[in-house]
Chain A
């Protein structure tokens, strides 16, 4: 199976390990990823905040590039990128006038033959739990995992799962041999880009999320968003300093945990790029051999 791939800007730098681990575990699943040629940034929240037509036309160009490359499905690992791509797709179907306007801005018309899917969508619908389970050689041995979704299920046009109590990541963790914990902070907001502009707000928001995960016995947190990962992991030191706490809980990408359970070499999954090293935990649990 060949599908389109839209990594987005974060996966080129701060979330490189999300990119490499997705590529590695999809290869194991027999899916080959073809990057959209010469893709551009989706505009992220700044375009959305400052310029309405820009927020629509930047993703529109990516849809055209995917369509020209005959890529009907596009895997977009970043929830925000995915939300923008799928929103524009739905809007132009709903409103032909908008399609005309965006065609005038971007210079070409999107014929609606390419559609974005998030990683969770794709695993659920296109790969399926059975095929995922068949690829597992190193089950996670009841590793206690807090599945953190953040705003993922609420984003416009995403429709992946129940909004207030999503379970799809929990089911994936179960399928690969882990033990998802039952907790009530899975959809609390991480503060997103306020991490740069109003850092103290993000520290205030992330602290109770980490506390809740630890309280329920989580040994690590798993995420499917580059911004969630960065806010939950990179800011732990700042939280410890400000609130005199001692958090040091690994925050992994879902694709990294899947890759580990598929027996993929840790270096190929970018585990060495995580700031809080999960290897001691994985050794202790006997998932990695000493």
Chain B
């Protein structure tokens, strides 16, 4: 009896190991990550299945999932994994790999939100919450979303109308210009 000797079968596992020091080969498929995940009902692929698919080298299947974008980084999976695999850390790197590969995100609006958020930091150095929500609603074509909360939040002084702009904004822009999506291994 012989085993397949194709060395490429561990490519995706090795990629993840190199990028974030997490080895999915240790996973015993106990399922605790999925059992404890608060968002699992909405995920198209369960967290333990994501780990299994990395083992099986299904790069595209993993990067296309909505799971990697719905993960709220609550870290429940990471702290409960009996093999001490930081699953939330793996989700982080998967998001970046999916952007690098230009794969249509399983949750387009979440990517939009994150981009608008970063744009706000780039423009002011800080996030302007009211501006962020308005721009998100308009960009995603749902102008009336949460409008019912507007009056009460305004009355309670929860909106800063103008927002703050930091003095060293040029430095922050430089930080944006120099930062690489995936940490340079130099």
| Chain B residues within 8 Å of A164, by CB | 79
| Chain A residues within 8 Å of B174, by CB | 105, 107
The chain A residue with its CB closest to the CB of B69 is A49
Per-residue interface assignment for chain A, residues 127 to 161, with 1 indicating a CB less than 8 Å from any chain B CB and 0 otherwise? 00000000000000000000000110011100000
In the bound complex, do residue A13 and residue B107 qualify as a contact, i.e. CB atoms below 8 Å apart? no
For the complex, give the distance between the alpha carbons of A155 and B171 in Å: 28
Interface size on A, residues (CB 8 A): 59
In the bound complex, do residue B92 and residue A39 qualify as a contact, i.e. CB atoms below 8 Å apart? no
Q: A184 on the interface (CB 8 Å rule)?
A: no
For the complex, give the distance between the alpha carbons of A199 and B180 in Å: 31
- The interface stretch among A50-58, A243-251, A252-260 is A50-58
Which of B78, B96, B130, B158 counts the most chain A CB atoms within 10 A? Answer: B158
Q: Which of A10, A105, A274, A275 contacts B175 (CB 8 A)?
A: A105
Q: B74 on the interface (CB 8 Å rule)?
A: yes
In the bound complex, do residue B73 and residue A48 qualify as a contact, i.e. CB atoms below 8 Å apart? yes
| Chain B residues within 8 Å of A150, by CB | 74
**A9-B127, A196-B133 in contact; A46/B166 too (CB < 8 A)?**
no
In the bound complex, do residue A52 and residue B74 qualify as a contact, i.e. CB atoms below 8 Å apart? no
For the complex, give the distance between the alpha carbons of A107 and B24 in Å: 36
- The interface stretch among A69-77, A115-123, A186-194, A280-288 is A186-194
Residues of B37-68 contacting chain A, CB below 8 A: 38-39, 41-42
In the bound complex, do residue B160 and residue A40 qualify as a contact, i.e. CB atoms below 8 Å apart? no
In the bound complex, do residue B164 and residue A188 qualify as a contact, i.e. CB atoms below 8 Å apart? no
Which of A48, A107, A151, A274 counts the most chain B CB atoms within 10 A? Answer: A151
Per-residue interface assignment for chain B, residues 97 to 131, with 1 indicating a CB less than 8 Å from any chain A CB and 0 otherwise? 00100000001011101110110110001111110
The chain B residue with its CB closest to the CB of A12 is B160
Chain B positions within 8 Å of A, measured between CB atoms, are: 38-39, 41-42, 70, 72-76, 78-79, 92-93, 95-96, 99, 107, 109-111, 113-115, 117-118, 120-121, 125-130, 133, 136, 145-146, 148-149, 152-153, 156-160, 163-164, 166-168, 171-172, 174-176, 178-184, 186
- A16-B157, A105-B175 provided; 7 other pairs, C-beta below 8 A? A13-B158, A46-B115, A46-B117, A46-B118, A151-B75, A154-B74, A164-B79
Chain A positions within 8 Å of B, measured between CB atoms, are: 9-10, 12-14, 16, 38-41, 43-54, 56-58, 61, 97-98, 101, 104-107, 150-151, 154-156, 163-164, 188-189, 191-194, 196-199, 201, 204-205, 234, 237, 272-275
19 contacts between A and B (CB under 8 A): A16-B158, A38-B167, A40-B126, A46-B114, A46-B117, A50-B99, A52-B183, A56-B183, A58-B121, A101-B184, A101-B186, A105-B174, A151-B74, A189-B76, A191-B72, A197-B109, A198-B70, A204-B41, A234-B149
